[in-house]
Chain A
Amino acid sequence: MIHSFRRPASFPVMLIIMTAALLLSLIFALSFGPSRLPTHTVWEVALYHLTGIKLNSFSLAQEHIVLYLRFPRVFLAAITGAGLAAVGVMLQAAVRNPMADPYIIGVSPGAAVGAVLMLILGWSDKIGQSGLAVAAFFGGLLAFAAVGLMAWRNGRLTPSRVILAGVAVSYLCTSLSSFLLLNSSEHVPSQAILYWLMGSVAGARWDQLALPALLVAAGSVYALVKARSLNLIALGDENACALGVHPDQLRFQLMIIAALLTGVLVSVSGGVGFVALMVPHAVRLITGGDHQRLLPLAVLSGAVFLVWVDLAARLVIQPVELPLTIVTAFIGTPFFLWLLRRKESFVEGAGS
């Protein structure tokens, strides 16, 4: 019998590397953009606003771009990436399914219906960006509630029921969005709808950052505190029981937190696909399944990943801004395939 062994990657080292990677990514993403704005000006504006020191002169327009366009969007990308990665980790453990992500519990498609409905009814002008976010949030939670109700039986949510109900609700929501779009009049801003369906942080504003940041932090801390319980529930309900964890209770908490987090993230960034699914898997291939290591590294990796994705979305086809999911899919799929091939023995075990 040949066994596959894991070369233990030092967790503290990886944590430091990923933290450094995040800082560098933020600096890099803040420095570059489609507008003709010298890199040094970005940091001069930042310096001026942090300390009041003005090294060189810059125009009001330049100041505006840096402060109100670039900084918030880069931060929102990081927050969204981190949050979605955390959601992916939580859901994959909770329903014990490698396919689990915010689409499979209905939240993302539901949020899209909420936003599309507002745009098509033409209410978006009246309720504004925040109103749209609220509509998306409730659309997402409504869809999740439907999934929960369908999957609820004998006082518990079983993983297989959640998946089946989630897939059903997701399809329904996707169809609803398409149906609404098909019947909409021509003046509906298709660009805006595309961004809602496929995700974008282009419209990020400072006042939108606080709530998602807070929730992502709280959700990640919760999951980290529960990391050992996540290990047990990921193995199976019987194992969890035998080692002192109530699987139904934990699953319920995880699903609710994941749904709330996703709801808030979708409401500001739209439906960003692939991150919640892929980042946890990619990190798991390197760290193994222990959530005590997986979770913090996935959160950091998710942030790094989406910062770069957004940078690519801005720069690849200027002046067109790509929706994020297009980029995540194009970057993510080959990367993921490569990881799967490279570490095949690691995933399957040597015997297979």
Chain B
Amino acid sequence: MKITCSEICWSAGKRPILDRVSLTAATGQFTGIIGPNGSGKSSLLRCLYRALTPDSGQMFLNDREIRSFSRRELAVHMAAVLQESLAECPFTVMEMVMMGRYPHHSTFSSLNREDRAKAQYALEQADLLTMEQAMFQSLSGGEKQRVMIARALCQETPVLLLDEPTNHLDIRHALALLGLIKKLQVTTLAVLHDLNLAAACCDKIVVLQNGKAVAAGEPRSLFTSSLLQEIFGVEAEVSSAADGPYIRFIGPSRED
């Protein structure tokens, strides 16, 4: 299932956050979004899962406009792993993951054994099997993030939106997670901060700056010292290894 955004604009009050952003995320591919803080990465995802309504522009899953889906229907096609902090959360890990099954049921049908088995499988994938009955609140940041990822897996959607899915994870779990997602071969659109991680796992990368999509391409051709200088304001060396580019950061570029 393909994601297409066409000319998305959204402003917070008078401040434009997204300025005619167009992008596509091809079926089964891992598409990354990178960009400095405040460039509109999360806002773009929020438009897609309908937490925000764009002022103009269109968004499609395959050929169907996203707002023509009912909300529940959309959640059957698209899962999202978010950055929302959950201060008050009186749920167990299992209860949290089972929420991924909610969209698959209409109001009057109830969750069943099959849903439970799927949740269990998702927990196993996220390396959380022993914590099924733990209170979500008692987990560490990384474990919480893995719960949210397990929930998205359990949702079994052809499209996955990820907002910095690895930022609390230790390197083993970060690599395991990205490997797992790539293996699923679902259409993935992920906001990523770690550029080397992005270079390693993305089939395609879209660069946002000041609410505009300014560049897009395969990591190999996209990452250059001049792009990193221009977008992030850093000096860096890009060397190409056999499996993709490798970025070594030198420091913030000098102010001229």
Contact = CB atoms under 8 A, between A and B. Distances in A.
Interface of A: 1-6, 8, 96, 98, 225-226, 228-229, 231-232, 234-239, 241-246, 284, 288-290, 346-351
Contact of A236 (B49, B84, B95): B84
Contacts of B135: 3-6, 346, 349
Nearest to B99: A243
Nearest to A284: B90
Contacts of A239: 82, 84, 86, 99
Contact of B75 (A236, A243, A289): A243
B95 A5 contact: no
A4 B91 contact: no
Given A231-B91, A243-B100, A244-B103, A3 B139 contact: yes
Ordered nearest first, which 6 A-B pairs have the shortest CB separation?
A289-B90, A244-B75, A349-B138, A244-B72, A242-B80, A3-B134
A290 B91 contact: yes
Q: How large is the interface on B (under 10, 10 to 19, 20 to 34, 35 or more residues)?
A: 35 or more
Contacts of B107: 225-226
A6 B51 contact: no
B102 A5 contact: no
A284 B88 CA distance: 12
A288 B75 contact: no
B24 to A, nearest CB: 21
Most buried by B among A229, A231, A284, A289: A289
A229 B89 CA distance: 15
Nearest to A345: B138
Contacts of A289: 89-91, 95
A232 B133 contact: no
B116 interface: no
Contacts of B133: 5-6, 8
B138 A235 contact: no
A224 B89 CA distance: 19
Interface in B65-118: 70-76, 79-80, 82, 84, 86, 88-92, 95, 99-100, 102-103, 105, 107-108
B99 A98 contact: no
B91 A245 contact: no
Given A4-B135, A238-B51, A244-B73, A228 B102 contact: yes
A160 B99 CA distance: 25
Contacts of A244: 70-76, 102-103
Contacts of B229: none
B73 A96 contact: no
16 contacts: A3-B134, A4-B138, A6-B92, A228-B105, A229-B102, A231-B91, A234-B88, A237-B51, A242-B80, A244-B73, A244-B102, A245-B72, A246-B71, A289-B91, A289-B95, A349-B139
A295 to B, nearest CB: 14
Given A232-B99, A244-B73, A288 B91 contact: yes
A222 to B, nearest CB: 11
